[in-house]
């Protein structure tokens, strides 16, 4: 699984449709201050399911939509498409049926975000799980923000362990365990309710 293309439209400073081919090997992005280098990394994080506006340097998630400039009106939606080369067929189950995997996230003002995987509507959770199982995603330690290295040096052991777990690709298991525990609690509550009803009928 390899990221092969990133397309942006209306995302932050990338108001016009922009199509970036990510070639094999090392890719460098260079440009003057404020030209949008960090916005590209944020687009990558966002399409992988990032839901914290602060991680996007914004106050609310709609702040990722092009806010307008003196010569251009604001946009009503932002869209990021990430194309993944899956010719090695290593994508997690459920997403592994084609040589190429295309993930689209679109946010529309007052409506919110919607995701698609190879043209099919999917949930944010499905996308987050897909990347967590592939040992990457919006919180991947491979995406290093400015200031993150000093945060890491000062982090508590528990936070550092989380980074190792993310790198080992077991972050998705924690989410599944949490969901299984919630289901178990609901089932226990339902069983108690059934006991009550049986007692009333007896």
Distance CA 13, CA 16 (A): 9
Number of residues that bind ligand ATP (CB under 6 A): 14
Distance CA 124, CA 73 (A): 29
Paired tokens of 69: 């400039």
Restricting to residues 45-64, name those near ligand ATP by CB under 6 A: 63
Is there a contact between 53 and 78 (Cβ–Cβ < 8 Å)?
A: no
CB of 48 to ligand ATP, least distance (A): 17
| Longest CA span, the chain | 78
Q: Is 76 among the residues that bind ligand ATP (CB under 6 A)? A: no
Strands 100-108 and 2-9: what pairing? unpaired
User: Which residue from 4, 6, 12, 104 is in contact with ligand ATP, where contact means CB under 6 A?
Assistant: 12
Q: Is 144 among the residues that bind ligand ATP (CB under 6 A)? A: no
Is there a contact between 25 and 48 (Cβ–Cβ < 8 Å)?
A: no
Taking the least distance from each CB to ligand ATP, the nearer of 35 and 149 is 35
CB of 112 to ligand ATP, least distance (A): 16
User: Which residue from 20, 22, 38, 85 is in contact with ligand ATP, where contact means CB under 6 A?
Assistant: 38
Q: Is 67 among the residues that bind ligand ATP (CB under 6 A)? A: yes
Taking the least distance from each CB to ligand ATP, the nearer of 36 and 172 is 36
CA proximity to 46, closest of 90, 12, 91: 12
């Amino acid at each position: 699984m390899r990221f092969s293309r990133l397309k942006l439209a209306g995302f932050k400073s990338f108001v016009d449709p922009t199509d970036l081919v990510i070639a094999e090997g090392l890719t460098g992005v260079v440009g003057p201050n404020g030209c949008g280098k960090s916005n590209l990394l944020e687009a990558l994080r966002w399409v992988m399911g990032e839901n914290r506006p602060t991680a996007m340097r914004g106050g609310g998630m709609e702040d990722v939509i092009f806010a307008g400039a003196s010569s251009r009106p604001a946009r009503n939606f932002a869209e990021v498409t990430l194309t993944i080369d899956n010719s090695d067929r290593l994508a997690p189950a459920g997403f592994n049926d084609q040589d190429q995997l295309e993930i689209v996230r679109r946010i529309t003002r007052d409506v919110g975000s919607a995701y698609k995987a190879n043209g099919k509507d999917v949930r944010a959770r499905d996308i987050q799980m897909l990347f967590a199982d592939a040992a990457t995603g919006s919180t991947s330690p491979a995406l290093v923000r400015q200031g993150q290295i000093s945060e890491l040096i000062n982090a508590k052991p528990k936070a550092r362990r989380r980074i190792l777990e993310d790198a080992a690709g077991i972050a998705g298991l924690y989410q599944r365990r949490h969901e299984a525990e919630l289901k178990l609690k609901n089932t226990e509550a339902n069983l108690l309710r059934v006991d009550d009803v049986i007692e009333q009928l007896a």
